[in-house]
Amino acid sequence: MSLQALWAMFMAHPAQVVNGLAMFFACAGAWVLVATRLREQRSVAQLAADSKVEELEEEAAFQDEPSRRLNHFFYAFGYFSLAVALGVSWASTQL
């Protein structure tokens, strides 16, 4: 699509284009949150399988510090993306 066609679509339907951008941020943020949670569950399951522990009382205690910091960063980034999506979606109602 050419830049002129994109600009024409934006000028014709600005709220829909901005709302589409909000949907992109929401999908990206949700995907990051789901992927981080799955990564966290896999690492805990791997640790449980390696140590032959049937039940882990505290999952975070068995993870190393860099993994916890990385998971914390991705959770924060995912929630920030969802907040941006909410703000952009609200802004699209004002157009």
Over residues 16-47, the pLDDT tens digits come to 989 999 999 999 999 999 999 999 999 888 87
pLDDT at 79 over 80: yes
pLDDT band at 62 (very low <50, low <70, confident <90, very high): low
Q: What is the spatial distance between Cα 36 and Cα 59, in angstroms, rounded to a whole number? A: 14
Q: What pLDDT score was predicted for residue 56?
A: 53
Q: How far apart are CA 1 and CA 5, in angstroms?
A: 6
Distance, CA of 37 to chain centre: 10
Q: Which tokens in the block code for residue 47?
A: 């640790």
Statement: residue 89 has pLDDT above 90 = yes
Residue identified by tokens 């882990």 is 56
- Nearest Cα residue to 74 out of 23, 43, 30: 30
> Beta-carbon neighbour count of residue 30 at 10 Å?
14
The pLDDT-based confidence of 81 (bands split at 50, 70, 90) is: very high
